[in-house]
Chain A
Amino acid sequence: MRAVNYNPKLRLQLLLILLSISIIANIFGSYFTRFFIAEITILSIFAISLDFIASRGGMVSLGHAMFLGIGAYSTAILSINYGISPLSSTLSTFIIGVVIGLIIGYFIVFLDGIFFIMVTLALGEMFNAWVFTSDFLGGSDGISGIIRPDFSQIGIDMNNPLTFSFYVILWLLGIYFLLTKITDAPLGRNLDAIRQNSHRISAIGGYTKAYKAIAFSLSAGIASIAGSLYVQLNGFISPELTHWTVSGEGLIMIIVGGIGSISGAILGATVVHIIQHELSNIINWWMLVIGFGFIFIVLFMEDGLWGLLERIQKKLK
């Protein structure tokens, strides 16, 4: 699998542009705009969790919605059944995601290509089927009544979409800086090398399986955070969130944005979600348009929108 050029400067520039747009839109936008930005930000967190393992380790997961679900359901159960604060719930779901990701990763990271995709798909579908039939998790009705973090003591009203939107942006920034740090560090470079030539990493004494398991578990933890924030935004969780098509949409986002740049995944999530939303308001066959757009990008735009930005950057030099 191909990943975009290692270009930390463009990565930061793109993040700053997207951040500026979201802050301006958040401040001057309507109630709906703010809700929409929070939604895009959460999808961006999910997309970069997928981007991280696809570009660092070459692992394409079609079952990552399972971790989105683990984060969402854990938050719901922890905050409703056990009275744990929403912020602590989100932090706990990260740990739960990491641990489950590590256990699953230990058994599957040695698989390559299509085998890895199919096993993650099977795991995701098993989880989805279980969630649908579990009374404890509310079955097909899901769970409702999930609250947002309470920072009223310091004068912040999290039920205001403006503040909640900034709250999820802060989460995205924290995760972004963690992942860029790892990407630039030896572990990230080794993971990138595994994607390019895992055989050679073994031959120079690399801990191939351990690197991949760490990346997978970290990615699972990040997807869980996205799930946790998602239920806090909507106050509700249903099994549809764990369906494999959600993972598929995440993959479309990172391919559109350009795999491997982190900022590209955020851009991909933003563009795809806006197009999805706007088109579905206008036409019934919006999925067809998205499909053609996706095929166009795969065939004619190597490295997705990131590649386009890189070419613009070169021309401007």
Chain B
Amino acid sequence: MLLSLNNINKSFGAIKVLNNVNIISERKECIGIIGPNGAGKSTLFKVISGNLKQDTGDIFFNNTNITNFNTEKRARLGISQSFQKNSLFPEMTVKESLTLALTHKYNVSFNIFNSLVNNKNINTDAINIAKDIGLSDYLETKSDNLAYGLQRQLELGIAIACNPTLLLLDEPTAGMSPQETKEIIKLIKKLSINYSIIIVEHDMEVIYELAKRIYVLDRGSLIFEGDSKSVKNSELVQQKYLGI
């Protein structure tokens, strides 16, 4: 088991956003978390990434209790995330953004004397990652000047450059055209061979395509867990989520 969320509860004032949520993620497994608006998906994502502290409950990652770890500590343990809204370094080129993220993989971020431009391993890795995420032709383009879909790809590139064990993807296809969505699905499928992935997504088709196991959230509680076929066939999910 790679990640385990045990009895997670979170309230904002009187509103209970997460109610006894239990989730397990195995190694190199791609799991999806779905639910209607207000189900608590984003809150759950933030709790896993460490951006938000749960009220009660424990989180274990790689047999380590990370309940009280902040985002930075969790990232160093191997939990990497891509955000729903692009969160890039606008003045940096694609290559600079990737080499920067790689300084954390190579543990050289405190180095003050060796130029990053001359670090062969990091630069080679950056070029390879750019190739993997389909940005080889944009190495010298500033993040801010990339088209939206390409920015989403760079989001993923930065997330994988840190050499994570677990990738958290928050609505990776948000705001994308159908063609861009197809491209990003293809990319995530490729990544799922090497990484454990948790995707929070409201687009059911994306989740059906990518996730081996799906958790369905409704008003902060998990109401269903299963593969895409069982989710599709579940009357409860259809009632609660699809409104059928």
Contact residues of A with B, CB < 8 Å? 2-3, 5-6, 181-182, 184-190, 192-193, 196-197, 199-200, 202-208, 210-211, 214
Bound-complex Cα distance A206 to B75 (A): 8
- Asked if B91 and A187 make an inter-chain contact with CB atoms under 8 angstroms apart, the answer reads no
Q: How far is the CA of A211 from the CA of B81 in the complex (A)?
A: 21
The A-B contact count (CB < 8 A) is 97
Partner of A204, one of B70, B99, B113, B162: B162
Q: Which A-B residue pairs are the 10 nearest by beta carbons?
A: A205-B75, A205-B76, A186-B103, A184-B115, A196-B89, A186-B111, A200-B87, A182-B112, A204-B162, A205-B104
Residue ID in chain A nearest B70 by CB atoms: A202
Residues of A near B87 (CB, < 8 A) are: 197, 199-200, 203
Are A187 and B92 in contact, CB atoms less than 8 angstroms apart?
A: no
Question: Which residues, 82 to 137 on B, are CB-close (under 8 Å) to A?
Answer: 83, 87-92, 96, 99-101, 103-104, 108-117, 119
**CA of A188 to CA of B108 in the docked complex: distance in angstroms?**
11
Q: How large is the interface on B (under 10, 10 to 19, 20 to 34, 35 or more residues)?
A: 35 or more
Q: Which listed residue, A2, A182, A188, A205, touches B162 by the CB 8 Å rule?
A: A205
Contacts of B81 in A (CB 8 A): 203
Residues of A within 8 A of B71 (CB): 202-203
Instruction: For A214, list chain B residues within 8 Å (CB).
Output: 110
A190/B103 in contact, CB under 8 A:
yes
Q: Which residue of A2, A184, A203 is within 8 Å of B49 (Cβ)?
A: A203
CB distance from B125 to the nearest CB of A (A): 14
In the complex, B72 has a CB within 8 A of chain A:
yes
Known: A186-B108, A203-B49, A210-B110. 18 other contacts (CB 8 A): A2-B91, A5-B91, A181-B112, A181-B115, A185-B113, A186-B109, A186-B112, A190-B100, A193-B89, A197-B87, A200-B158, A203-B83, A204-B161, A204-B162, A205-B75, A205-B104, A206-B109, A207-B110
Q: CA–CA, A186 to B71, complex, Å?
A: 21
Collect the chain A residues with CB atoms within 8 Å of residue B83's CB: 200, 203
Cross-chain contact A197 with B109 (CB below 8 angstroms): no
